Structure 1
Amino acid sequence: MAGDVNTEKRRYHSPRRAEQAAETRRAVLAAARELFVQQGYAATTVTDIARRAGVAVDTVYAAIGRKPALLREVVESAISGTDHAVAAEQRDYVQRIQRAATAAEKIGIYARALAEIHPRLAPVYLALRDAASTDPDCQALWTQVTERRAANMRRFVSDLAGNGRLRTDLTHDELADVVWSMNGPEYWALLVEQRGWSPKRFADWLTTAWIRLLLADGADEPR
């Protein structure tokens, strides 16, 4: 009987413990994001993050890890919109792109997704870029994220090519580079943060520009 009671206690308390751990992780990530953006990676300590999150330093290490791991998780959560990394092929907008019937529709879905992602990603991404100039761990993460984004754009262009409507005077890699150069948070920061464009205007512009730059006739309009 005692064994049965202990088992029931573990079953009863386990979901609550899991939720408490998830809440702690979210608090730590939020604190790290705020401080990395506000004062920069180099100037932020794990003690600062723990204090902002209202937890002990050891709790930060247990929940996520040391400062490089914190930055990685902040970047991944900004990309995914959750408190953990989500592989590109598992993201909702990527699946909608793959199901779309035309290249123009795929482009429109992706442009609108970027307008939703960049408000949370751009500040973190730019903080990582700045930290990469002096910190080896940040440089390694910056390189990894940049190369992963480039690889994802090659897959995006290959998906567009499925209906045979890409322009033929540039290679797929060159077309992917065009998308890569315009889908980055730096481009968002220039137009939205510095020039005052609305997210909708940004998404509409990317849609129109990519249709004209990537597709053979450049005349389709997204549905």
Structure 2
Amino acid sequence: MSGPVKRQYDSSRRQEQARENRRRVMRAAHTLFVTKGYGRTTIADIAAEAGVAPETVYSAFKNKAGLLHRTWDLAVGGDEQDIPMIERPELRAGFAEPDLRKRFTAFAVVNTAAMRRTARLHIAVRAAAASEAAAAALVADIDRERLAAMAEHARAAAATGRLAVSEGECRDVLWTTTDGTLWHQLAERREWSDERYAAWLGRLWVSAFVLP
């Protein structure tokens, strides 16, 4: 019995090591894409930062474009679970809140946490989009998916009968205020705390969207 148990144990260890290597590579990629720029960062740079061989990066992600997409997915969700942001429990709980003021206030808190994870990378990818096809493709995907998500928020808000603007206006304003630019300007450049930013964003949305 000792043989099969040992092989199973060794296999589990290898799988966990592979997962840890992927996490290290994605963390390294995130850091370098933000600080050095996507176009100027090489697979060799990322491998060195992560402490793995370049072959390990290629084996796990195939190429830099594949790594960029997986790094973005990790930043958005905060973990490696393949669950769209709109389906995550913290957002579904917001949709279940009948009070529209509380709903937008809660959404502002969730969005602020997401901006902490994604805004710097989003800005770096947008900066690279003019000259890097992979970055341009990711930006297009991000914008399309975020617009669809904000449309769902707007539809749900309209269904309460308390929305003060059109569903389309709600969608477009949410889309514009959730791309990381506001968070970067206020939290990063003006040094607002995330708590202050979330409270302000919640007040902004409530005043713009909710009938008195």
Give the TM-score normalised by the residue count of structure 2: 0.93
Contact 1:122 1:185 in 2 (8 A): yes
Moved more, 107-116 or 87-96: 87-96
Query: Residues 2-37 of structure 1: CA distance to partner in whole angstroms, max 9, x if unpaired?
Result: xx6654334323322221111000110111111111
1:103 equivalent to 2:100? Answer: yes
Query: Residues 72-105 of structure 1: CA distance to partner in whole angstroms, max 9, x if unpaired?
Result: 1111111111135531243122121122221112
1:46 equivalent to 2:43? Answer: yes
Contact 2:76 2:85 in 1 (8 A): no
CA separation of 1:180/1:112 partners in 2, compared to 1, >3 Å: closer, same or farther?
same
Contact 2:86 2:149 in 1 (8 A): no
Moved more, 12-21 or 68-77: 12-21
Give the TM-score normalised by the residue count of structure 1: 0.89
Using the TM superposition, give the Cα deviation of residue 40 of structure 1 relative to its aligned residue in structure 2, in angstroms: 0.3
Query: Residues 178-221 of structure 1: CA distance to partner in whole angstroms, max 9, x if unpaired?
Result: 1111122111111111222221111111111111111122xxxx
Matching residue within 103, 109, 113 for 1:112: 109
Which residue of the partner structure matches residue 173 of structure 1? 168
Q: Partner letter of residue 171 of structure 1?
A: S
Taking the TM superposition and a 5 Å limit, the aligned residue runs for 1:71-220 are: 71-83=68-80, 85-167=82-164, 170-217=165-212
Q: Give the gaps of 5 or more residues in structure 2.
A: none
Inter-partner Cα distance in structure 2 for 1:163 and 1:114: 21
State the SS of the aligned residue for 2:177.
Answer: helix
Which residue of the partner structure matches residue 24 of structure 2? 27
Inter-partner Cα distance in structure 1 for 2:124 and 2:62: 19
**CA RMSD after TM alignment:** 1.6
Q: Partner letter of residue 185 of structure 2?
A: L
Inter-partner Cα distance in structure 2 for 1:15 and 1:109: 39
Inter-partner Cα distance in structure 1 for 2:81 and 2:181: 23
1:66 equivalent to 2:66? Answer: no
CA separation of 1:106/1:150 partners in 2, compared to 1, >3 Å: closer, same or farther?
same
State the SS of the aligned residue for 1:183.
Answer: coil
State the SS of the aligned residue for 1:40.
Answer: coil
State the SS of the aligned residue for 2:83.
Answer: coil
Larger-gyration structure (1/2)? 1
Query: Residues 151-193 of structure 1: CA distance to partner in whole angstroms, max 9, x if unpaired?
Result: 10000111222321112xx431221101111122111111111
Q: Partner letter of residue 36 of structure 2?
A: Q
* Count of aligned residue pairs for this structure pair: 212
Inter-partner Cα distance in structure 2 for 1:124 and 1:188: 13
Q: Partner letter of residue 186 of structure 1?
A: T
Q: Partner letter of residue 72 of structure 1?
A: H
Query: Residues 40-72 of structure 1: CA distance to partner in whole angstroms, max 9, x if unpaired?
Result: 011100011111111111110112221011111
